[in-house]
Amino acid sequence: MRMLKWLRENWLHIALLLALIISVTFSFLIWANPFQRPHSKRTPTLRQSTTQVVTRKASDLYVPTTVVVNHSGGKQEQVQANMNKVVHVIQRGLLATNAGRVTPVALTAHDYQGEFHRADTVILNYPDTIPGELFKKLLHRGGSGDSFQVNHVMISTKNPDRLYLLDDAHRQEYVVPVRGTAVRQLVHFLVTLTGRRIPVAFRRIAGRMTVTYPAGLSLPQVSYLVNKQPVNQLVTRLMGANSSYTIDSRQQANTTTYTDSNQRLTVNQRKGVIAYDQYRHRGQRGNATAILTNNVKQLNNLDVGLTAVHFLGYSQQHHAVTYCSYVHGFPVISPVSRGMYTIRQTTTATLSVTLSQYGLQVAIPSEAGTHRVHLPATAEVFNQLMAVGIPADKVTGIMVGYRWRANKASGEVADLTPTYFVRINGQWQDYQQIIAHH
């Protein structure tokens, strides 16, 4: 009776308490399990994707990708084992370097070429010219560096207290004194690293001191899972943040074009190639250092995996910079830009970006991986090209890399086959395909 009387007298308080408990409970459930509200039928302006990825820095992209160790007696070997770790150690070592003033050294053309045969040295080779100003930034040193360029960094294994910067175009050497243990530890790591080494020799080709293979070399075929970026995500990332209008799309055959007032994105659905142009006037084009530095932000804005992507080359004539995936220390080249990114500043478009929907994700075991491909000596490649009518002076560059081919059994797998690539008319081409078509 007392309980009933108490309930009658306090029912209002009890009801309010229950309502409060129910409200708090549902608020918690909504907070813990948010739902998506229905999308408006209105077509909104696309917004930048909020997906979080690892931000890449200039020191991640602009790194030496080939390491040659010069031994006493003239023996030269390219380090090939565990190249992902090698590149990381080089990057970390250069970043930690306590560097002094850059000083030019007067050398004759003959003496400059002789530097590449100096015994007891390690030579770190960039895939293309790095502006001196950018190199100084990578060493955390200020000041202008417009007066010099860097193609190679040479370090004595006996006295690693200096960096010798080598500029192929001007056959000029620069000396940078260093303090601390960072460079010494880097050299020790490279010299004592166990694993496969490839006999090499430096040869001047089209004004560039190039790593060549006098006895040829053998590399494994490899297969990778392929990551395909959805078109709508790429449209959002590239166009969304810069658009103040509704983005229009038009379909024609295998091509879809997205436009608004100041930008255009074209998708070739058959090849998976994306071409993006942004038409905003922002003053004059910057110098090479400004272009290479600004490109770091542009690549990060793509919001794609760039873990094994590094600088490949810069065309001063076209103001175009190319980046690509690297496997075992060698670049992956595709005629349809797979795994590659090209950023260009033009006179008509402030920014032009070409990339592919397809990128390398992770290596997978396969029968191809047990097979090694033997490539001929570099001199033999030139002989084969001349035999089909391609004179040596038409070749402005040569390198070993991996050719990307789609797996015949699965579109989600890429087969990478080692080959020589030669640069003719500014384009890297598989030498075997050149020979086959002549």
Is pLDDT of 144 > 80? no
Exposure letters 94-124 (e unless 16+ CB within 10 A, then b): bebbebbebeeeeeeeeebbebbeeeebbbb
Least confident of 101-105, 344-348, 397-401: 344-348
Q: How far apart, in whole angstroms, are the C-alpha atoms of residue 171 and residue 203?
A: 13
Helix (H, G, I), strand (E, B) or coil at 81: coil
Least confident of 37-51, 170-184, 239-253: 37-51
* Most confident segment among 6-20, 45-59, 301-315, 386-400: 386-400
For residue range 62-98, list pLDDT tens digits in order. Answer: 999 999 999 998 999 999 988 989 999 999 999 999 9
For residue range 190-246, list pLDDT tens digits in order. Answer: 999 988 999 999 999 999 999 999 999 999 999 999 998 888 888 888 887 556 567
Q: How far apart, in whole angstroms, are the C-alpha atoms of residue 7 and residue 162?
A: 89
Q: Give the residue, 135 or 54, on which the prediction is more confident.
A: 135
Query: Tokens standing for 373?
Result: 């491909």
Q: How far apart, in whole angstroms, are the C-alpha atoms of residue 366 and residue 373?
A: 15
Distances (CA, A) of 395 to 171, 321, 399, 434: 20, 20, 11, 12
Average pLDDT, the chain: 84
Which pLDDT belongs to residue 10?
Answer: 54
Distances (CA, A) of 193 to 74, 185, 415: 19, 12, 28
Which pLDDT belongs to residue 1?
Answer: 53
Helix (H, G, I), strand (E, B) or coil at 287: coil
For residue 424, the cross-strand partners are 427
Which pLDDT belongs to residue 50?
Answer: 38
Which pLDDT belongs to residue 331?
Answer: 97
For residue range 25-43, list pLDDT tens digits in order. Answer: 443 333 333 323 333 323 3
Nearest to 313 by CA among 163, 427, 434, 146: 427
Compute the average pLDDT of residues 259-270.
91
Which pLDDT belongs to residue 213?
Answer: 98
CB 305 within 8 A of CB 227: yes
HSE toward the beta carbon, residue 83, CA cutoff 13 A: 22
Q: What single string gives the DSSP state of each residue in 183-212? A: HHHHHHHHHH--S-EEE-EEEEETTEEEEE
E strand or H helix that includes residue 395: none
Q: Give the residue, 267 or 47, on which the prediction is more confident.
A: 267
Q: Give the residue, 1 or 181, on which the prediction is more confident.
A: 181
Give the confidence band of 408 by pLDDT, cuts at 50, 70, 90.
confident
Q: How far apart, in whole angstroms, are the C-alpha atoms of residue 135 and residue 257?
A: 39
